[in-house]
Amino acid sequence: MAGTYRIAVIPGEGIGPEVVNAALKVLNAVQEAVKDVRFEFLMCEAGVSVIPKYGTNLPEETVEKLKQSHACFKGPVTTPEEPGSPVSVAVKIRTMFDLYANVRPARSLPNVPCLRPDIDLVIVRENTEGFYYAKEFEVAPGVGISTRLITRKASERVARFAFNLA
């Protein structure tokens, strides 16, 4: 764990910058407390607010910083819903780096009152297909259809990942 870790930081939009700045304070406190761990933060731009400046919601400069980093800390960014709008920043990053497994652990914590003190589970979800790549369209006024992408290859890959994790 000792070393210097480059973290690409996308502050995001809306409440994103406030939340990300609070999290960066925590990471700075970690590197103060743990002397052999250092973080180098690479500030990045992304989201609907940068489209006028770059012509895209994920500028090439940000992509290059992501490629140079050990991790990315991304605040929430706006995804426009108009037809022809760019794919969400999160989906672009997941696809670019093949982040196909969405892993969500859940455990009961000791000394925290809860209904079930014995919970210890992990939910694994395919992260690059499904409704993330939905094609939506209106077939009549007030009637919409949404299709989703599911491939055998992606389904088997995430199932294998979940099995190996278990």
Judged against a pLDDT cut of 70, whether residue 133 lies above it is answered with: no
* Cβ-count burial 29-63 (b if 16+ within 10 Å, e if not): eeeeeeeeeebeebebbbbbebbeeeeebbbeebb
- Do residue 66 and residue 112 come from a single domain? no
- Do residue 117 and residue 94 come from a single domain? no
pLDDT reported for residue 153: 96
- Do residue 49 and residue 118 come from a single domain? no
- Do residue 92 and residue 105 come from a single domain? no
Q: Give the pLDDT confidence of 74-88 residue by residue, as tens digits.
A: 999 988 777 777 788
- Do residue 85 and residue 150 come from a single domain? no
Compute the average pLDDT of residues 31-36. Answer: 94
Judged against a pLDDT cut of 90, whether residue 129 lies above it is answered with: no
The residue out of 57, 83, 99 marking a domain boundary is 99
Contacts 24+ apart (CB under 8 A), 95-99: 95/128, 96/63, 96/66, 97/66, 98/128, 99/127, 99/128
Q: Please, what is the average pLDDT of the chain?
A: 93
* Identity of the residue numbered 57: N
Compute the average pLDDT of residues 124-128. Answer: 93
pLDDT reported for residue 111: 93
pLDDT reported for residue 98: 93
- State the pLDDT confidence band at 134, using cuts at 50, 70 and 90: low
- Helix H segments across the chain? 16-33, 51-54, 60-67, 89-96, 152-165
Percent over 90 (pLDDT), the chain: 80
Of 88 and 152, the structure prediction assigns the larger pLDDT to 152
Q: Which structural domain range is residue 12 located in?
A: 1-99
- Do residue 79 and residue 110 come from a single domain? no
Residue carrying structure tokens 């700045």: 21
Compute the average pLDDT of residues 47-61. Answer: 95
